[in-house]
Amino acid sequence: PKSSANNFSINQEKIILGLVSLQSGNPDQAVEHLQDILKAKKATKLKGDILMAIGNGFLAQGHSKQAASHYGLFLREYPKSRHTPQALYYLGQAMKDLGEVEKQKILWKELIKNYPQSSLAKRAKKRLR
């Protein structure tokens, strides 16, 4: 029993350190702290939230390739998540930043078609004009 409590507190500590790293603008360090959760085969809500947070962190730091990787993984593992519109929008933004304008258009058109009421779909529609 004691070891499972220990594992829980170690996991909690890693999560806290990972989130602090993200807050301080260091997504690479966050990935190090959170890699056990990221490598887990099971698609948990926590893993999905962490993938999105790390994608956002990389995008904010101008690391579009790493951001795209995390958003893409999120979309593969959580296609029906409430965060899907956000992942589509920001993956599209990352693609644009990488010079992949056609991929951006495809992603944003999918966002507009499948989530027309989303504020990000409306933003994508304006930006595609």
Give the structural domain span for 100: 2-128
CATH number, domain containing residue 29: 1.25.40.10
What is this structure's pTM?
0.88
**Among 110, 73, 117, 116, CA closest to 92:** 110
User: How many domains, in total, are found in the chain?
Assistant: 1
Q: pLDDT digits over 112-128, tens only? A: 999 999 999 999 999 99
Of the pLDDT bands very low, low, confident and very high (cuts 50, 70, 90), residue 3 is low
What's 7-67 look like in SS3?
Answer: HHHHHHHHHHHHHHHHHCCCHHHHHHHHHHHHHCCCCCHHHHHHHHHHHHHHHHCCCHHHH
Is 96:60 a contact under the CB 8 Å cutoff?
A: no
Q: pLDDT digits over 9-60, tens only? A: 778 999 999 999 999 999 999 999 999 999 999 999 999 999 999 999 999 9
